[in-house]
Chains A and B, each alone.
Chain A
Amino acid sequence: MRHIISIKLENEAGALSRVAGLFSARGFNIESLSVAATNDPTLSHMTIVSVGNDAIIEQITKQLNKLIDVIEVKDISKTKHIERELLLLKIALNKKLKNYKEKQKNISQCKIIDSQNDVYTIELSNTSEQINSFLDKFDQSEILEISRTGVIATSMKKIKNNT
C-alpha cells in the first residue's frame, strides 16, 4: 500500500543523505521525496511516498525516528490529509494525432507559462493520480520534457476554535 510519510528534521547538511541512505541500506522503497526548509530556518519538512505492507511501513517509521536528526515522523496517509504535486510540462501538440482539439482544451485549463505555436510550457498542481491521468491524455511523442516535484502533503486537522 502507498503511504505518505511526513518528517520534520534538523535543517543540517547531511540530514537528507541520512534519510536517503536509510532507505537504500534497508531496501525500503521511495516513490518520491521532497524536502525544503520551513518558516523556522533550523527545521526542514520532508515528504516521502513509499510503498509497503504495514510491517514495512512500521519499520520505516521506527528507523526514521531513530535517526538523530529526525524530530518527528507521521504516516499521514492514515488520517485525513491533502496531497499535492507540481508538474512542469513542455509539450508539442501534433495536429496529425487524434483528439487534437480536446488536448488543446485540456492545456487551456492549466496555467500556461509559455506558448509558441503548438509548443506549450504549462504548470499543474494536483494529486499524483490526477497528474498521471492528465499526462495519459497525450501521446508520448508530444511530451518534450517533464519535471515533477514529488508529493508534498499536510494533514487536515479539525480546527475547533480559531481565535
Chain B
Amino acid sequence: MKLNGAQIVINSLKKEGVEYIFGYPGGAILHLYDALNLQDDINHILVRHEQGAVHAADGYARSSGKTGVALVTSGPGVTNAVTGIATAYMDSIPMVVISGQVPSKLIGNDAFQEVDAIGITRSCVKHNFLIKDITKIPTTIQKAFYIASTGRPGPVLIDIPKDITINTTDKYDFLKTIEMRSYKVIEEPKQNQIEKAAELILSSQKPIIYTGGGCVIGNASKELIEFTRNLNFPITQTLMGLGAYPADDKLFLGMLGMHGTYEANMAMHHSDCVIALGARFDDRVTSDLAKFCPYAKIIHADIDSSSIGKNVHVDVVLLGHIKLILKSLNIVLKDKKTKNIDSWWSDINYWKSFESLNYKTSSKKIKPQSVIQSLHKVTNGDAIVTSDVGQHQMWAAQYYNFNKPRRWINSGGLGTMGFGLPAAMGAKLANPKKDVVCVTGEGSIQMMLQEFSTMLQYNVAVKVVNLNNRYLGMVRQWQEFFYEKRYAMTYMEALPDFVKLAESYGHIGIKVEQPKDVEPALIEAFKLKNRTVFLDIITDPSENVFPMIPSGAGHNEMLLAKKDKILSKNDSGLNLV
C-alpha cells in the first residue's frame, strides 16, 4: 500500500511509542498536521509558542525518562525552538524535534519561511538529519530516537521538506536492529578500572561522593544509595543531580557549588578522594579551577568520554553507563573495609555547625526560603517541582529537599528563563496523578506566560508559586555585591496584576502578602486538584541567595549570610566573571 511521507512519519512515531507531541503548525508542516489529525494514538498539544513546545517536551522527558517530541514549522518555527533545543542539549535530555522545511526544490532560494535549520541547530543538537528521500523516513526516525536516548542523551532534530511529506511510496520498511558504524555506545565499564577505583576508594581518608545529572538520567538512584550507604561516605550533589540521593539522609551534605552548602564545598576543598559520578565539573560547581580540590585524587565516572579530563585532571577514569558502573563498584566493594573516617566526619560536622542555609525569619515580610519550606511541607516533599532561572531557582534547590529522582526539573546548564511553566505542563501530562509545581519569579514567568492558554485548553492543572520580589533578583544581588548597588534596569513600576492575569487565562489567582498566609494559601491551592492556581507571593525584595562563592574564588572562600558582610569588588580583589 502506498503511503505519503506524512503518514509514514506518524507511523514511525507510533512505533517509537510516542504518546504526546508538543507543537505548532505552519505552512511547511501542514501535511504532517493533516496526518496527525486523522489518527487517535498520538495526542498533540497545541502550544502558543514553539519555545514552549520544546520546553514542554523537555519537562515531559525529564519527569518520565521517555524521549520528548516537539513538532514545529520551518523558518520562525525552528528559530523559536532553538532556545528550547539548546536548553535540552546542555542538560542532556532525550528529545526529538521534527521541523518542516520548504519544498526540496526551493531550499537555498531564500524561500518564504526558509532557514537553514540544520546549520542553525548544529551546535546545540546531539545530531540532526535532513530527509531528502521519502524512503529514508522510517530509518531516519528510528536512528533519531536511538541517538537521542542512548549514551549521553540529547536532542536530535529532523528537518523534513514539505514535498517529502506529500509524495507517496510503498517503501517504508523499518530496521530490525539499529547498527551505526559511526555511533557506538560503550556502557559496560572496564573491570580493571573498577578495581583501580575501588582501591583508591578504600585507601581514602577524606572521601566525598559528588554526583550530577547523570545519576538521574541514568536511573541509578538505587545503586547510588547502596554505594553511598555501604561506604558510609559523605555525598553532595549538583543542581542537576538533586534527588538521586535522598536529601533527608544523614550522609547528604546538600548541594555543592556557587550556592551550595558550606559543608559540601569545604568537604570538596579538603577531600583526598573525590568520587565524581555522572557530573561534569561545570564552572558553577568548580569555581576557579586553579583552586579546585587541591588535595584530591579524582575518580570520574561518565558515559561521555569528552567530559572526562575536560576541566580537571582525572586519576581514575570510569567510562560507561553510571548504573552499570555503580553495580560493578558495589560488587567489588561489598564487605570491604574502608579506612576509619571518623575524624573526617567530625570536620564535616564542624562545617555543618555554621548552618549555612540559616536565614533571618520575619513575621512582617515573606521570606522566599520559608515559602519553599512550606511548599515542601504541604506537598509532603513529593511534588514534581519545575523552576525558572534566578534566585527562586536556587532557593527551590536549597530548601525543597528532594528525596527522589525526577522530582526536580530546571534548566541547569543553559539557565533558560521561561523554562518552568511549559516544563511543568509537560511534566503534568507525563504524571497526571502527581502534584506539579512551577517555582518561578515575576521576571521568568513573563517570558512564557502564553502557555497558560495551552494549559486551559487541555486542562493541565499545575500550581505556580511566583516568588515576587519585584526585581530580577539574581541580577539585583550581583549589582548589590559587585556593582556598588547600582541597580541598572528595574521594572518595579510596570509589573502586571498577576491575579487578574491568571484569571484572564481562566485560572485561579491568589495574592499572598503576609507570612502567616503562605501555608494556608498553598493548602488551598493544592486542594484545587483540577485547576491551575497562580500564587503571587510578595516576598522580601532585599533577600539574597546565600551562601555564595563569588566567581573566581575557591570552595573554601564562601560568603556566608551569617557574617553579614559582603565583600565588594574592590575588597575581595577577586576576578569576577
Contacts and interface: CB of A to CB of B under 8 A. Distances in A.
Given A17-B119, A58-B309, A71-B182, 13 more contacts: A14-B118, A14-B122, A14-B130, A18-B122, A21-B122, A21-B123, A59-B309, A62-B306, A65-B306, A66-B304, A66-B305, A68-B182, A70-B182
A59 B304 CA distance: 12
Q: Among the interface residues B180, B183, B306, which one has the most CB atoms of the partner chain A within 10 A?
A: B306
Contact of A55 (B122, B127, B180, B309): B309
Q: Among the interface residues B122, B182, B304, which one has the most CB atoms of the partner chain A within 10 A?
A: B182
Interface string A12-37: 01100110010001000000000000
Interface of A: 9-10, 13-14, 17-18, 21, 25, 55, 58-59, 62-63, 65-66, 68-71
Contacts of B305: 62, 65-66
Given A18-B122, A59-B310, A10 B304 contact: no
A42 to B, nearest CB: 9
Nearest to A8: B182
Contacts of A70: 182
Contacts, number: 37
8 interchain residue pairs of minimum CB distance: A62-B306, A68-B127, A71-B182, A25-B123, A62-B305, A63-B306, A68-B183, A66-B306
Contacts of B122: 14, 17-18, 21
Nearest to B183: A68
**Which bracket fits the contact residues of B?**
10 to 19
A157 B493 CA distance: 74
A68 B156 CA distance: 11
Contact of A59 (B126, B130, B306): B306
A73 B512 CA distance: 59
Contacts of A9: 182
B181 interface: yes
Nearest to A68: B127
23 contacts: A10-B182, A13-B130, A14-B122, A14-B130, A17-B122, A18-B122, A21-B122, A55-B309, A58-B309, A59-B309, A62-B305, A62-B306, A62-B310, A63-B306, A65-B305, A66-B304, A66-B305, A68-B126, A68-B127, A68-B182, A69-B127, A69-B182, A71-B182
B130 A71 contact: no
B147 interface: yes
B181 A71 contact: yes
A62 to B, nearest CB: 4
A38 to B, nearest CB: 14
A67 to B, nearest CB: 8
A148 B183 CA distance: 33
Nearest to A62: B306
A70 B306 CA distance: 14
Contacts of A55: 309
Contacts of B127: 68-69
Contacts of A62: 305-306, 310
Interface in B142-159: 147
Nearest to A22: B123
Contacts of B118: 14
Q: Among the interface residues A9, A62, A63, A69, which one has the most CB atoms of the partner chain B within 10 A?
A: A62
Nearest to B182: A71
A25 B310 CA distance: 15
Nearest to B313: A55
B403 to A, nearest CB: 34
A62 B118 CA distance: 22
Interface string B295-315: 000000000111001100000
A66 B151 CA distance: 10
Interface string B235-268: 0000000000000000000000000000000000
